[in-house]
Amino acid sequence: MAKDASNDDMLKEVLLDSEERMKKTVESLHTDLRTIRTGRASPALVERIQVDYYGVPTPLIQLAGTSVPEPRMLVIRPWDRATIGAIEKAILKSDLGMTPSNDGQIIRLIVPQLTEERRRDLVKQVHRRVEEARVSIRNIRRDANDMIRDLEKEKMIDEDEQHEGQEKTQKLTDDHIKKVDEIGKAKEAEIMEV
């Protein structure tokens, strides 16, 4: 039976789709870990806080500018001063554990030093999120391998191509899990830094 070039393309498509999904998982973890407090001020700490803006949950980043005038202070400057109360409430309701100081025009947040116990809790959070990313990547590998097996069952690729496809999927998985682990280790080091 003559092999069809489009069958080769189907295998490549499965691998490309898997790689894209794995990259998105890594990027999502990276973005997610930026919101974990490390004892240093960073606009990423508050960017994703949802503010009740006239009854509509709106990310803080759309309502105010955030700056870091000192290593342990965040300044939030609302575009519309009428939102300052809603922004303050949203910060208090968030899991940041910081109390905002409002002078009517801007909100100041002092980032407190992390206690040793709080650092350990944050590291556990990082480990949990890294493990969730690993599981997600493994699930993508499983889906890809299932699709590759289906291609072989339907005689669209031969057995050698199936094995080659699964090996490439495993290499993608190993590479992306390594990236996830590196991101986790970097965040852990940042949290434990005194």
- Residues 150, 83 share a domain: no
Domain that includes residue 17, residue range: 5-35+116-192
- Residues 105, 49 share a domain: yes
- Residues 149, 122 share a domain: yes
Partner residues linked to 57 by β-bridges: 52
Under 8 Å between Cβ of 114 and 39: yes
H helix intervals, the chain: 5-34, 44-47, 84-93, 116-153, 159-192
pLDDT at 19: 95
Last residue of a domain, one of 90, 110, 130: 110
- Residues 55, 21 share a domain: no
Mean pLDDT of the chain: 88
Who wins on pLDDT, 35 or 73? Answer: 73
CATH number of the domain within which 182 lies: 1.10.132.20
Long-range (24+ apart) CB contacts under 8 A made by 69-72 are 70/41, 71/40, 71/41, 72/39, 72/40, 72/41, 72/110, 72/111, 72/112
* Furthest CA-CA distance within the chain: 78
Give the mean model confidence (pLDDT) for residues 10-38: 89
Lowest mean pLDDT segment, chosen from 54-63, 87-96, 135-144, 155-164:
87-96
Partner residues linked to 53 by β-bridges: 56
- Residues 53, 28 share a domain: no
- For 61-119, the pLDDT digits (tens) are 899 999 888 888 889 999 988 889 899 999 888 877 778 888 888 999 888 777 888 88
- Residues 79, 131 share a domain: no
Q: How far apart are CA 98 and CA 110, in angstroms?
A: 7
Q: How far apart are CA 152 and CA 42, in angstroms?
A: 50
How many domains are there within the chain? 2
Tokens 């090996």 sit on residue: 167
Last residue of a domain, one of 110, 131, 157: 110
Q: How far apart are CA 134 and CA 91, in angstroms?
A: 31
pLDDT at 119: 84
- Residues 100, 121 share a domain: no
- Residues 165, 135 share a domain: yes
- Residues 161, 68 share a domain: no
CB under 8 Å to 48, separation ≥6 — which residues?
35, 59, 60, 61
pLDDT at 2: 42
- Residues 52, 23 share a domain: no
Task: Work out the pLDDT band at 1, boundaries 50, 70, 90.
Answer: very low
pLDDT at 169: 95
Q: How far apart are CA 55 and CA 166, in angstroms?
A: 49
pLDDT at 8: 73
Above 80 in pLDDT, residue 13? yes
- Residues 121, 27 share a domain: yes
